[in-house]
């Protein structure tokens, strides 16, 4: 599985050019939505502040830690694969997937609590943004986990390349990047 890629070439960023175009498009989409949320928050500051206080920022913080830890093990899995340590790489990939699932479990607990309190999408404009943005992100995490599971089983096949694994890793890290912007805006600044 050894391969030499010149990442300095503009057409070969780590993960592949197509994935990086997708990453920038996703980041721009979420960025515009966050700016819209801040704009609406400026219109109704007390509503956004009181609604933000209804969120459990500890959940948000722990979920950030889960995703960052998952991203760390993903990066380690890619590094081990490049060093031809396949078994270690697979172990790290499994840990990556585990932390991804932990993120989803905690998000489910948080969502259940909100729904039990009646804080659904139509409750107010803050929660419309909260549900839209976090659910859209959760969909990305689920897709990312499906990709990682397929990468894990793909590692058994000799035709799987490092580029394939790097592409999956880049998508997974993109979920981190999006969350790193969602967490402070939704849970902390209003």
Partner 1 sequence: MKSISIITWMVLLLLTIASAMFSNAHGIYIIPIIMTLAAFKFIGVAFQFMELKKAHPIWKSLVFIYLIVIITLILIIK
Query: Of the ranges 107-115, 119-127, 157-165, 174-182, which one interacts with partner 1 (CB under 8 A)?
Result: 174-182
User: What does the block give as tokens for 39?
Assistant: 């704009």
Would you count residue 137 as binding partner 1 (CB under 8 A)?
no
Nearest to 134 by CA among 189, 24, 59: 59
DSSP 69: H
DSSP 178: H
Would you count residue 144 as binding partner 1 (CB under 8 A)?
no
Would you count residue 59 as binding partner 1 (CB under 8 A)?
no
Nearest CB to partner 1, comparing residues 74 and 119: 74
CB 92 within 8 A of CB 27: no
187: number of CA atoms within 13 Å, CB side? 18
User: What does the block give as tokens for 129?
Assistant: 């943004």
Q: Is 15 left (phi over 0), alpha (psi -120 to 50) or beta?
A: left
Query: Of the ranges 66-74, 132-140, 148-156, 157-165, which one interacts with partner 1 (CB under 8 A)?
Result: 66-74
Would you count residue 181 as binding partner 1 (CB under 8 A)?
yes
Site for partner 1 (CB under 8 A): which residue of 25, 49, 50, 65?
Answer: 65
Who's near 110: CB < 8 A, 6+ residues apart? 56, 59
DSSP 184: I
Would you count residue 168 as binding partner 1 (CB under 8 A)?
no
Would you count residue 41 as binding partner 1 (CB under 8 A)?
yes
Site for partner 1 (CB under 8 A): which residue of 1, 14, 111, 138?
Answer: 14
Q: Under the rule (CB under 8 A), what is the footprint of partner 1?
A: 7-10, 13-15, 20, 24, 27-28, 31, 34-35, 38-39, 41-42, 57-58, 60-61, 64-65, 68-69, 71-72, 74-76, 78-79, 169-170, 173, 176-177, 180-181, 183-185, 187-189
């Amino acid at each position: 599985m050894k391969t030499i890629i010149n990442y300095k070439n503009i057409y070969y960023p780590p993960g592949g050019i197509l994935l990086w175009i997708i990453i920038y498009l996703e980041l721009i989409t979420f960025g515009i939505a966050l700016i819209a949320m801040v704009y609406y928050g400026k219109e109704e500051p007390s509503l956004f502040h009181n609604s933000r206080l209804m969120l459990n920022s500890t959940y948000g913080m722990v979920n950030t830690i889960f995703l960052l830890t998952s991203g760390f093990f993903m990066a380690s899995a890619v590094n081990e694969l490049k060093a031809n340590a396949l078994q270690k790489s697979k172990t790290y990939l499994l840990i990556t997937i585990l932390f991804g699932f932990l993120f989803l479990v905690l998000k489910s607990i948080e969502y259940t609590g909100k729904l039990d309190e009646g804080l659904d999408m139509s409750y107010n404009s803050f929660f419309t943004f909260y549900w839209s943005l976090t659910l859209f992100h959760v969909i990305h995490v689920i897709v990312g986990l499906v990709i990682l599971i397929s990468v894990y089983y793909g590692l058994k096949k000799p035709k799987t390349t490092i580029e394939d694994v790097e592409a999956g890793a880049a998508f997974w890290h993109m979920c981190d990047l999006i969350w790193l912007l969602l967490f402070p805006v939704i849970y902390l600044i209003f």
